[in-house]
Homo-oligomer: A and B are copies of this chain.
Amino acid sequence: MVRVSELSRHSGVPVATIKYYLREGLLPKGEATSATQAVYSETHLRRLRLIRALVEGSGVPLTKVRAILDALDDTGVDLHHLLGTVQYALTPETTPTDTPEWREAERNTEELLARLGWRVSPSSPARPRLTHAIATVMGLGYQVGPRTLDTYANAAHMTAERDLDRIDPAAPRERAVEHVAIITALMDQMLVALRALAQEDVSARRLRGTDARY
């Protein structure tokens, strides 16, 4: 059991921020040792590290942090639904547009998911997000055919299998939540960087002229 100053030192979160989280109910109260003092346990430290990873690492707004923490504390929510709550909270919202491209793109999204047999909730915010990307490409006069979508989907699935390998169902639930929060933002960035490197490699093999410059 430690005082708030030590909790701050161990977590790297300033005392003023810890007090704010306590007032907002994001962090449970410590055990009172006097009228103005309280002590905090390992549980507080884990929770604090998680809030920090969500807020600083992934830029999650505090209202969504609260929804995640509620799901975390609700033992009626299984790990699958807990991770879904985190992922949905981290996915930017997409507003559908009433255009022919949107409707065609939405059909592409639905057909792709049906073709692959993926188990995805109708309420997943990643559905309109995918539709938006396809509709934007179409709006610029390009087609996104089933072959492209299938290739991308298979590649995405390979990385998702690996992501889930890294989730230990026996570990504390906080750990899994923190992990998903990190996967969603940073592993996406990693993959985007690797795509740029891979594009250069494929281009070098296929398109490089006779000049020996890089």
Using a CB–CB distance below 8 Å, which chain A residues touch chain B? Answer: 53, 57, 78-81, 83-84, 87, 91, 113, 116, 118-124, 126-127, 129-130, 132-134, 136-137, 140, 142, 144, 147-148, 151-164, 166-167, 169, 179, 182-184, 186-209, 211, 213-214
Q: Is the CB of B196 within 8 A of A91?
A: yes
Q: Which residue of B lies closest to A119 (CB)?
A: B204
B-side contacts of A160, CB under 8 Å: 195, 198-199, 201-202
Kindly state the separation between the CA atoms of A53 and B213 in the bound complex, as whole angstroms. Answer: 29
Task: Give the Cβ gap from A152 to chain B, nearest Cβ, in Å.
Answer: 5
Interface of A is mostly: helix
Given contacts A120-B201, A201-B118, A202-B164, contact A208 B87 (CB under 8 A): no
Q: Is the CB of B119 within 8 A of A201?
A: yes
